[in-house]
Amino acid sequence: MSGHLFPENFLFGTATAAYQVEGAVNEDGRGTSIWDVFSHTPGKTLEGQTGDVACDHYHRFRDDIAMMTDLGMKSYRFSVAWPRIFPEKGAFNQKGVDFYKRLLEELHSHHLIPAVTLYHWDLPQWVEEEGGWRSRETIPYFVDYAETMFRELGDMVPLWITHNEPWCTSFLGHAFGQHAPGHTDWREALSVSHHLLLSHGEVVESFRHSGQKGQIGITLNLTPTEAGTRQPDDLAIAQIVDGNSNRWFLDPLFHGAYPEDMVAFYSQTFGPLDFIQQGDLSKIATPIDFLGINYYSRNRVVYDEKSELFGIRMLPPEGEPTEMGWEVHPESLYHLLKRVEREYTSIPLYITENGAAYEDKVVDGQVHDEKRKEFLRDHFLASAKFLQEGGNLKGYYVWSLMDNFEWSFGYSKRFGIVYVDYATQERLVKDSAKWYQQVIRTRSLG
């Protein structure tokens, strides 16, 4: 393909999240989040690493924005740390809001368009102590926080994202125990997924009533799932995995109903889903302005009666995986975008995250991250194909602007297109960032 692959107003950017980059966990009145508690609990993260300092973005955001500007970025996706705004129950913290005002003003002065995520996993600990996302009572707290943000920052934010990857909050956090708060109860995880979706719907409703000018959507991590063979058992298990990863979120948001096969499967396995109340589904399906998609890899699965996870066995990746062990499969991004368009919605789509962790080496002050460049090129090509076929894709955020705290993996996985030396906080622009700069400038892939 040659010429301009991306339209002139295409939003090229990078993404980060508060707990992964900000640091400054005890500054300006920030309260404790579930990730502070989790990462400080022995055995929960690699070598006990925490986000206490992270990339020190809280203090270095001006330099980081200057760097994004030099790289020609059009947009920056970041998240607000809820515990900076409401550190304790009923306590509003103006200093927390002021930080995000400074950040937004700096972005505006550099003509960078902000995309702001309200919830990227750092629940205030006081909310967790009242039952966290397991409790329906958390929804009004989230609505209150969101309304505060709309009021305080609304003039400066054109794109709002309610939740980032509710699958992770629900299942990594409450079924697999790998994320905060580290629970291992599937029934709980299902109630969490419902409360997250419902809180999303209520926040969208409230956003509409507020008369805000911006747009609002949600970001899902979607993982295309294929059966390893055409055997009925394998096809059936692939259907369940697809139901859990993708349809459990897409169906209620766009069709106003949970998928029937999954409702049957979950209620047979875990008992009645009585946390779903009359009227909830229509709230969840409140129309949104765009859908954010985070895409990293695909799943291939087979049925294995020995597997304790409902008979699911994941097949190993084909080809060389990334440092996360994830298969590299750009074709699945194209098929995923087509599926969302065919089965769910024609509203604008954004790839709100895509990227790869690879082991990076600094040689003479340079990082020649060929694999990441190739990964990004192939995924950009897949999305360009979707665009050329008339797909409604409006932007693409590479995960991540810079290396950062990769949750339970600590600092061991580097996703950045900018390298961070954690000892000095020095930033080094990797080759992939220089390549991305050319992509943005030429709107083609060279």
Place of tokens 């709309």: 150
Helices marked H in 71-129 — which ranges? 82-85, 94-109, 125-129
User: Cα(223)–Cα(321) distance, rounded to whole angstroms?
Assistant: 15
How many residues sit close enough to ligand IFM to count as binding (CB under 6 A)?
8
- Contact residues for 265 (Cβ-Cβ < 8 A; gap 6+): 240, 243
Task: Note whether 45 binds ligand IFM by CB under 6 A.
Answer: no
Which tokens sit at 49? 């690493």
Task: Note whether 353 binds ligand IFM by CB under 6 A.
Answer: yes
Query: Could you say which residues in the range 145-204 bind ligand IFM, by CB under 6 A?
Result: 165
Q: Which residue, 5 or 220, has its beta carbon nearer to ligand IFM?
A: 220
165 is catalytic: yes
Instruction: Let me know: does 281 contact 252? Beta carbons within 8 Å.
Output: yes
Q: Which of 406, 411, 419, 432 touches ligand IFM (CB under 6 A)?
A: 406
Q: Which residue, 20 or 239, has its beta carbon nearer to ligand IFM?
A: 20
Annotated catalytic residue within 22, 106, 152, 353: 353
- Residue 20 C-beta: closest distance to ligand IFM, Å: 6
- Residue 241 C-beta: closest distance to ligand IFM, Å: 18
Q: Using CB under 6 A as the criterion, what x/- string covers residues 97-136 for binding ligand IFM?
A: ----------------------------------------
Taking Cα atoms as reference points, which of 356, 369, 301, 360 lies closest to residue 325? 356
Q: Which residue, 150 or 411, has its beta carbon nearer to ligand IFM?
A: 411
- Residue 167 C-beta: closest distance to ligand IFM, Å: 10
Q: Which residue, 97 or 402, has its beta carbon nearer to ligand IFM?
A: 402
Count of alpha carbons within 13 angstroms of residue 394, beta-carbon side: 15
Strand pairing partners for 397? 13
Instruction: Let me know: does 62 contact 153? Beta carbons within 8 Å.
Output: no
Count of alpha carbons within 13 angstroms of residue 376, beta-carbon side: 33
Q: Which residue, 72 or 321, has its beta carbon nearer to ligand IFM?
A: 321
User: Cα(357)–Cα(399) distance, rounded to whole angstroms?
Assistant: 9
Place of tokens 């790869």: 356
Q: Which of 5, 17, 153, 237 touches ligand IFM (CB under 6 A)?
A: 17
User: Cα(344)–Cα(96) distance, rounded to whole angstroms?
Assistant: 37
Annotated catalytic residue within 165, 202, 341, 406: 165
Task: Note whether 294 binds ligand IFM by CB under 6 A.
Answer: yes
Q: Which of 35, 399, 411, 435 touches ligand IFM (CB under 6 A)?
A: 399
By the criterion CB under 6 A, which residues form the site for ligand IFM?
Answer: 17, 20, 165, 294, 353, 399, 406, 415
